[in-house]
Structure 1
Amino acid sequence: MIDLSGLGVAMVTPFTADGNIDFTGLKNLTEHLIEGGVDVLVVQGTTGESPALTSDEKRKVLDYVLDVNQGRTKVAFGIGGNSTSMVVDQMKSFNADGVSAILSVSPYYNKPTQAGIVAHYQAIAEAAPAPIILYNVPGRTGSNMLADTTLALAEHENIAAMKEASGDLSQIEEIIEYKPSNFQVISGDDGLTLPMIALGAEGLISVVGNAYPAEFGKMVHTAMKGDLDIAKPIHFQFKRMIELLFVEGNPGGVKEVLKHLNICDHHMRLPLLPVSEKTKAALIAEANNIA
C-alpha cells in the first residue's frame, strides 16, 4: 500500500475573471505547496470545486499539476459520485500514471444504507487503477459512514486509507483502534487534526494548507512525532483562521487568503461566490496576525 501520511492539501482550482482555469495561478499554487513541503497534492476534491468542472477540465488540471510536480511529491486525484456504475466506468478508463491514490467520496444525496456504501466502494475498488482513499464527510453527503462500515472496507487490498471528516471523535477512535495496521486514517478536518493524530491518525488532507503549507505541515509532522509542545502552539495559532475559512463555505475563504498572499485570485464558479467584504476583512486581518 502507498504511504499517504503527513500533510496532504486539497488543492483549490484557480479561475480567471471570465471563469476559465487559471493555469498561471495553478502553477503558482503547486510550486507553493511543493516548496512548503507538502506530502500529497490532492487534485479535484470538493475544495477544487470539482462539481463545477467538466471531465475534460478535471483531466487538464491533473495533467498540469503532474507536469509541474515532476514526481517531486505524491499526487492523489478525486473520482467519486452517487452512481456506482458511472464511477466504475471512470475508474476503468482513468490513466493513473503519476497518481498515487484516488480519493473517492461516499455516495451523496442518495443516502444509501451502510451495506450500500460497502457495496459501492467494493465495486469501485475492484475497478480502480490506484489505491482508494475513502472519504467520509456527512455534512456534504447527507450520510455517515459508521465505524463498522469503514473497518469492513479497510480489509480490501485496494483500499489504503480513510479521509475522516465526520467530526465524531468517538467514531474515529473506534476506527483507529480496530483498523488493520496497513490502513491509514487521515484527518479531513483542519481543526480536529491535532486530537486525531493524538488518537493515532497519520496525517491530514487540509484546506488551510493551501495557504500555509510549511506552517501546518510542521504541526502535522511534529504531532506525529509526539512533539506536542511544538504542535500545540501552531494548532492554537491557526484556530481563528480555520473558523473564518468556513464562515461562508469552502473554498471561498481560502481563495481569499491565497489572493492576499499573491498566489492566485479568488474567482469561483457558480453556484459558489467569493466571500463577503465583512468576511474578507476578517480573513485578511487574521492573515496579517499570522504573518
Structure 2
Amino acid sequence: MSAPLTLDQSAKSAPRAHLFGVSVAMVTPFTESGSVDLARLAAHAADVVAQGVDGITLYGTTGEGASLGMTERAAMLDAVKDAGVPADRITVGIAACDPETAEAQARAAFRGGASRLLLAPPFYFKGITDDALFTWVTEFVARLGDASPEIILYHIPQVTGVSFDAPLVRRLKDACGAAIYGVKDSAGSWDHAAALLPMDDLAILIGDERLLARAAPLGGAGAISGMANLLPGVMRRLVHAGEPQPALDSLVGEIVQVPVTPLVKALVGAARGEDGWQRTRAPLQPADASVVAALAPRVEELAATQVP
C-alpha cells in the first residue's frame, strides 16, 4: 500500500509479515445497456477510500471479474485512478485458464501502474493435482519475469473447484520468492486458515469476514472484503484492531445463504440511495428484491456504528 499502516495494540499479539489492511472487493455497476457504469464505479471507489479503507480490488468475485473483457478492465482501472485512487492501492483480479490470457490481464494491470495481482487458479478442469497447479503458477510467474508482481493466491474452491492448500502455498512461496506476496483464503474454513496463518513471510488475507477477528491476533494481514463495499469503517476496525463484530457476523451469515455477488451489489445501491446497482451480467441474475429490502436496514444500522 502507499503508506505504512499502524495496528491497534489489541491486534499486535503476533507478527504480520505484511499489514495489508482492508481492500474493498469492488462491485461492478452496469448501465441499462449492459456496459460498465464507469462513473458510478469511480464515485463508489472514491467514497470507500475516503472512509478509510487501505485500497480497492478490481475484477474479483464480487466484481464479476470472470465476466469482464480486456477493454472493460482497462477502462475501469483508468476510471478509479482518475477518481483519485492511487495505483499502488489497487489490486487487480486475474481470472483465466490459459496462460496467454492470464499474462495479458497482468500486463494490462502493470501498464496501469498496479503491481498487485489476485490470482485465481485455472478453473475449467477439476480434480487437478498440486503438482499440476504448481506448474501452472510457476509458469505464470516466469512469464512475468521482467516485471515485479506481488501475487496473492486466491483460494475460493466453492467457486473455482480448485484449491490452494497450505502445503502447495508453502511450495510456491519457496519456489517463487517475492513474486508470491500472499493468499486470500475465502473458503470459510477455520482449519484451512489456521494452517496458513503461521506462514509469516506471506500476507494471509481472510475472505470470510466472520473469521477475521479470530485471525488478526494470530498474524492475519487483513482482508479483501466484499462487505467493505457496505461497511468500510466497520471492516477497518475489525482488521486493524481485531475487534469482534457479532452483528456483522450475523449479517454475513444471512448474505451467504443466497448468491452473494448480486446481493452485495444491490445492497450497495440501497445504501447509496441509487437505482441501477441491482443489474448483473449474465450468467448472474439480480438479487431477490425482498431479500434486499429485508437486509438493507440491517446494513444501515451497522453503518451508523462506523467511526468517521
In 2: Cα distance, 1:105 partner to 1:42 partner: 13
Matched, 1:35 2:50: yes
Question: Over residues 236-282 of structure 1, what are the superposed CA-to-partner deviations in whole Å (9 max), with x where a residue is unaligned?
Answer: 12123212333321211111211112265221111112211321122
2:233 is aligned with what amino acid? A
Question: Over residues 98-153 of structure 1, what are the superposed CA-to-partner deviations in whole Å (9 max), with x where a residue is unaligned?
Answer: 21301111221312211111111111122233211110111011122221001111
Give the superposed CA RMSD: 2.2
CA contact (8 A) 1:88 1:123 kept: no
In the superposition, the TM-score normalised over structure 1's length comes to 0.88
Question: Over residues 65-99 of structure 1, what are the superposed CA-to-partner deviations in whole Å (9 max), with x where a residue is unaligned?
Answer: 12223528611111232223432354456534421
Matched, 1:214 2:233: yes
SS of residue in 1 equivalent to 2:246: helix
In 2: Cα distance, 1:9 partner to 1:263 partner: 19
Change (3 A) 1:92 1:238: closer
Q: Counterpart of 1:147?
A: 166
CA contact (8 A) 1:7 1:39 kept: yes
Which among 224, 227, 250 is matched to residue 205 of structure 1?
224
CA contact (8 A) 1:209 1:216 kept: yes
In 2: Cα distance, 1:266 partner to 1:4 partner: 33
2:283 is aligned with what amino acid? P
Matched, 1:116 2:132: yes
Q: Counterpart of 1:133?
A: 152
1:134 is aligned with what amino acid? L
Change (3 A) 1:24 1:85: closer
CA contact (8 A) 2:22 2:224 kept: yes
Q: Number of paired residues? A: 280
SS of residue in 2 equivalent to 1:162: strand
In the superposition, the TM-score normalised over structure 2's length comes to 0.84
Matched, 1:238 2:248: yes
Q: Counterpart of 1:174?
A: 195
CA contact (8 A) 2:49 2:55 kept: no
Q: Counterpart of 2:298?
A: 286
Q: Counterpart of 2:23?
A: 8
> Superposition pairs for residues 54-69 of structure 1, below 5 Å?
54-69=69-84
Q: Counterpart of 1:228?
A: none
In 2: Cα distance, 1:17 partner to 1:90 partner: 26
Matched, 1:254 2:264: yes
In 1: Cα distance, 2:250 partner to 2:90 partner: 29
CA contact (8 A) 2:58 2:65 kept: no
Q: Counterpart of 1:227?
A: none
CA contact (8 A) 1:5 1:203 kept: yes
In 1: Cα distance, 2:104 partner to 2:69 partner: 16
In 2: Cα distance, 1:105 partner to 1:250 partner: 18
1:109 is aligned with what amino acid? Y
Moved more, 192-201 or 106-115: 192-201
Change (3 A) 1:22 1:86: closer
CA contact (8 A) 2:48 2:229 kept: yes
2:207 is aligned with what amino acid? G
Moved more, 71-80 or 142-151: 71-80
Aligned-residue identity in percent:
26
Following TM superposition, the consecutive aligned residue runs of length 4 or more in structure 1 with deviations greater than 6 angstroms are: none
In 2: Cα distance, 1:143 partner to 1:79 partner: 15
SS of residue in 2 equivalent to 1:17: coil
Q: Counterpart of 1:163?
A: 184
In 1: Cα distance, 2:24 partner to 2:139 partner: 27
Change (3 A) 1:89 1:61: closer
CA contact (8 A) 2:81 2:87 kept: no
Moved more, 273-282 or 42-51: 273-282
In 2: Cα distance, 1:142 partner to 1:246 partner: 18
